[in-house]
Chain A
Amino acid sequence: MVLSRATDERCLALQRQGRIGFYAPALGQEAAQVGCALALSPLDWMFPAYRELAIALSRGASLKSIVNQLIGNSADLTKGRQMPNHFGFADQHFVTASSPIGTQITQAVGAAMAAQRRKHPIVTVAFFGDGATSSNDFHAGMNFAGVFRTPTIFFCQNNQWAISLPREKQTHSKTLAEKADAYGFSGVVVDGLDLSAVYTAVADARQRAVRGDGPTLIEAQVYRLGPHSTSDDPKRYRSDAEVAEWKAKDPIVRFRDRLIAAQLLDETADQKIWDDARAQVSAAIEECEKIPPMPGPTLFDDVFAQLTPRLAEERAEFVHRPAGGPGHA
């Protein structure tokens, strides 16, 4: 949680300095994400949206691999192809995110159908926000999951805001979780600021899924403490008082206080965790910024498994393009 928070805080600054192009922080959603990730098996498959930093870190993605993606350098596993935060890690079964809202939901259900066919006792998890519950793929994915009783966890982080649209204008439903009723399976609301509560809800859902009892929709109620992204100014649509109210319920502080009360942590140890995390982030950024950019001709790789004659022709044309324009090394 702390590493995710430290990364977010530093990366928001990096974006303002022009060192990365864009950033979408997970601020305030750390407990929901870490609590969820801890309840899953390494063999489970994650279908994230683009605000899942703490999930990626909890799954074992290295901080450097994340920073390489933010920069889009030649060590980036996704080869500099996408905006920051759209990372993916095949080793962690963490599917590369895209920007369209909700598309990963049906995909998670399809992967669960495949796991059923292979008789693998795993779950797939679709991550999405409150806004995505209005998308086509939310409906289609929930419906397919109900019909085929797939081992899928629909993990909705209701962070109260879809850019500028508040939760109450997204849907007239009282809760997002109750939407599961219509698809014939259970939906649960959980306090997403409480790591243990999230862990328990996900562990229960996982157990039901691998037992063959089908999917679960979990609505983790959280708050997007930061902007939608660095391109967004939340002051246009929400009050400072509202943000302050939620900031007072910071999930990391809450968990820290619990650990201190249980005498599992003291102020000194807590400070050390923060110092270590910030040092790790600084070291990763320093190291990753030295890595050279992607070579230009890689533009043509991975469109298809092999270059088609047309792409080979375009690649040859590209290699001989005149030097000096923007983007030329």
Chain B
Amino acid sequence: MSELTLVQAINRGLSEAMRADPDVLILGEDVGVNGGVFRATEGLFKEFGESRVIDTPLSETGIVGTAIGMALYGLKPVAEIQFLDFIYPAFDQIVSELAKFRYRSGGQFPCHVVIRTPYGGGIKGGLYHSQSTEAYFCHTAGLKVVIPSTPADAKGLLLTAIHDEDPVMFLEPKRIYRAVTGEVPEGDHRVPFGTARLVREGTDVSMFAYGAMVPPTVDAAEILAKEGIHAEVIDPRTLVPLDEAAIVASVEKTGRAVVIHEAARFCGFGAEIAAILAEKAFYSLKAPVARVTGYDTPFPYALENLYLPNAETIAQAARGAVKAS
């Protein structure tokens, strides 16, 4: 075990995967000599050289398109898109090509690319360095969508992603790249997809949060505990595939649900969780499902702390759910 930050855990996962398998390579903007703008690939260029840590021209469609070609040829590319906000030039490659290759070829051309990209607010990044648009990718059949919230999960989910057979969108909560540290297992530690993490056990209300929203949700649970409300906190870790069973089971126990994400509310991932609960846990619900999310506005710069959910707004939603019944 080593005590690492989340971004160090990602770096560790990448370097171990590259040491173990010569087919694993990295490509993206500033990932080589510079080690990535967030230093996620620091030291890898020196260890593995320019043929495996490839500094590309500034073109997201070029990065993802060439990564697809490499994967079709049998390599295991891990592409970095510098910010999720800049991924849209590659959107066609991701949703029309990467997501559909296995399907459209009748299984003849599986296409396993991992796309790592930092997402989310709280870093004074304004409109174009802060967004959480995970729902776009969850809505496209054929993509797995992964969001770690701890260093151990970051490494474990990344290694699972690199060894998976399907395309993986690996979204990294940049706000907690360094704000969170934790013990990370050595070696080939893998966290399976589709298995939620029980962050904190409780009986009165279930709170579902992922990525950078997990720490404030845990803080909210602490606040609530002092008031005698025992909140359960669950981190789904992978949005696709989603551990629906864990979500439903928790609400069957508590009867109340609060979903927390940074993304805008309308058609956000919380809507899917609310729909699943309406379909599969309706008779267990004692209160309406509450959503604590970003607003349906573009992501603001000066007012970002008022835009983002925090422990107080999350706790208030949980109190509301408890009071409702």
30 A-B residue pairs with CB within 8 Å? A81-B105, A88-B104, A88-B109, A95-B109, A96-B108, A96-B109, A98-B96, A103-B65, A103-B93, A107-B97, A109-B65, A109-B69, A110-B68, A111-B69, A111-B70, A113-B69, A114-B69, A118-B73, A137-B61, A137-B92, A139-B59, A140-B57, A144-B56, A144-B59, A144-B62, A302-B105, A302-B107, A305-B110, A308-B241, A309-B194
- Min CB–CB distance A51 → chain B (angstroms): 17
Does B142 sit within 8 A of A, measured CB to CB?
Answer: yes
Question: Among A78, A90, A304, which residue has its beta carbon within 8 angstroms of that of B104?
Answer: A78
Asked if B73 and A111 sit within 8 Å, CB to CB, the answer is yes
Asked if A305 and B102 sit within 8 Å, CB to CB, the answer is yes
Q: Interface 1/0s, chain A 91-131, versus B by CB < 8 A?
A: 00001101010010111111111110110000010000000
Given A98-B96, A111-B73, A136-B89, is A141 in contact with B65 using a C-beta cutoff of 8 Å?
yes
B residues 121-150 touching A (CB-CB < 8 Å)? 141-142, 144
- Min CB–CB distance B156 → chain A (angstroms): 19
- Could you tell me the distance between the alpha carbons of A67 and B241 in the complex, rounded to whole angstroms? 36
Does B298 sit within 8 A of A, measured CB to CB?
Answer: no
B residues 40-99 touching A (CB-CB < 8 Å)? 51-52, 54, 56-57, 59, 61-62, 64-75, 77, 89, 92-93, 96-97
Asked if A147 and B57 sit within 8 Å, CB to CB, the answer is yes
Asked if A81 and B62 sit within 8 Å, CB to CB, the answer is no
Does A45 sit within 8 A of B, measured CB to CB?
Answer: yes
> What are the 8 A-B residue pairs with the smallest beta carbon separation, nearest first?
A110-B69, A106-B65, A110-B66, A140-B62, A114-B73, A96-B105, A79-B106, A111-B69
- Could you tell me the distance between the alpha carbons of A95 and B110 in the complex, rounded to whole angstroms? 11
Question: Among B93, B104, B141, which residue has its beta carbon within 8 angstroms of that of A106?
Answer: B93
Asked if A143 and B65 sit within 8 Å, CB to CB, the answer is no
Asked if A96 and B65 sit within 8 Å, CB to CB, the answer is no
Does B177 sit within 8 A of A, measured CB to CB?
Answer: no
Query: Number of contact residues on B: which range applies?
Result: 35 or more
Asked if A140 and B106 sit within 8 Å, CB to CB, the answer is no
Which residues of A lie under 8 Å from residue B70 when comparing CB positions?
Answer: 110-111, 113-114
- Could you tell me the distance between the alpha carbons of A157 and B245 in the complex, rounded to whole angstroms? 53
Which residues of A lie under 8 Å from residue B191 when comparing CB positions?
Answer: none
- Min CB–CB distance B29 → chain A (angstroms): 12
Does B3 sit within 8 A of A, measured CB to CB?
Answer: no
Asked if A100 and B96 sit within 8 Å, CB to CB, the answer is yes
- Could you tell me the distance between the alpha carbons of A105 and B141 in the complex, rounded to whole angstroms? 23
Interface-centre pick from B67, B69, B92 (highest chain A CB count, 10 A): B69
Does B266 sit within 8 A of A, measured CB to CB?
Answer: no
Does A303 sit within 8 A of B, measured CB to CB?
Answer: yes
Instruction: Kindly report which residue of chain B lies nearest to residue A147, judged by CB atoms.
Output: B57
- Could you tell me the distance between the alpha carbons of A136 and B93 in the complex, rounded to whole angstroms? 11
Does B9 sit within 8 A of A, measured CB to CB?
Answer: no
- Could you tell me the distance between the alpha carbons of A114 and B54 in the complex, rounded to whole angstroms? 12
Interface-centre pick from B25, B241, B245 (highest chain A CB count, 10 A): B241
- Min CB–CB distance A297 → chain B (angstroms): 14
Question: Among B57, B67, B194, which residue has its beta carbon within 8 angstroms of that of A143?
Answer: B57
Which residues of B lie under 8 Å from residue A115 when comparing CB positions?
Answer: 73
- Could you tell me the distance between the alpha carbons of A81 and B108 in the complex, rounded to whole angstroms? 12
Asked if A308 and B194 sit within 8 Å, CB to CB, the answer is yes
Instruction: Kindly report which residue of chain A lies nearest to residue B245, judged by CB atoms.
Output: A309
Asked if A140 and B241 sit within 8 Å, CB to CB, the answer is no
Given A96-B101, A143-B62, A305-B165, is A88 in contact with B69 using a C-beta cutoff of 8 Å?
no
Interface-centre pick from B93, B110, B240 (highest chain A CB count, 10 A): B93
Asked if A144 and B57 sit within 8 Å, CB to CB, the answer is yes
- Could you tell me the distance between the alpha carbons of A267 and B25 in the complex, rounded to whole angstroms? 57
Instruction: Kindly report which residue of chain B lies nearest to residue A107, judged by CB atoms.
Output: B69
Asked if B105 and A107 sit within 8 Å, CB to CB, the answer is no
A residues 280-329 touching B (CB-CB < 8 Å)? 301-305, 308-310
Which residues of A lie under 8 Å from residue B244 when comparing CB positions?
Answer: 309-310
Asked if B59 and A143 sit within 8 Å, CB to CB, the answer is yes
Given A96-B101, A141-B65, is A117 in contact with B75 using a C-beta cutoff of 8 Å?
yes
Question: Among A95, A98, A113, A308, which residue has its beta carbon within 8 angstroms of that of B100?
Answer: A98
Asked if B108 and A77 sit within 8 Å, CB to CB, the answer is yes
Which residues of A lie under 8 Å from residue B54 when comparing CB positions?
Answer: 113
Question: Among A82, A88, A103, A110, which residue has its beta carbon within 8 angstroms of that of B108?
Answer: A88
Asked if A310 and B65 sit within 8 Å, CB to CB, the answer is no
Asked if A304 and B57 sit within 8 Å, CB to CB, the answer is no
Which residues of A lie under 8 Å from residue B66 when comparing CB positions?
Answer: 106-107, 109-110, 113, 141, 144
- Could you tell me the distance between the alpha carbons of A112 and B70 in the complex, rounded to whole angstroms? 8
Given A302-B106, A303-B141, A310-B242, is A110 in contact with B65 using a C-beta cutoff of 8 Å?
yes
- Min CB–CB distance A57 → chain B (angstroms): 18
- Could you tell me the distance between the alpha carbons of A237 and B106 in the complex, rounded to whole angstroms? 37
Does A76 sit within 8 A of B, measured CB to CB?
Answer: yes
Does A206 sit within 8 A of B, measured CB to CB?
Answer: no
- Could you tell me the distance between the alpha carbons of A141 and B93 in the complex, rounded to whole angstroms? 12
Given A106-B65, A144-B66, A304-B142, is A88 in contact with B93 using a C-beta cutoff of 8 Å?
no
- Min CB–CB distance A113 → chain B (angstroms): 6
Given contacts A90-B108, A303-B142, A305-B110, 7 further A-B contacts (CB under 8 A): A103-B97, A109-B69, A111-B73, A137-B61, A137-B92, A141-B65, A302-B105
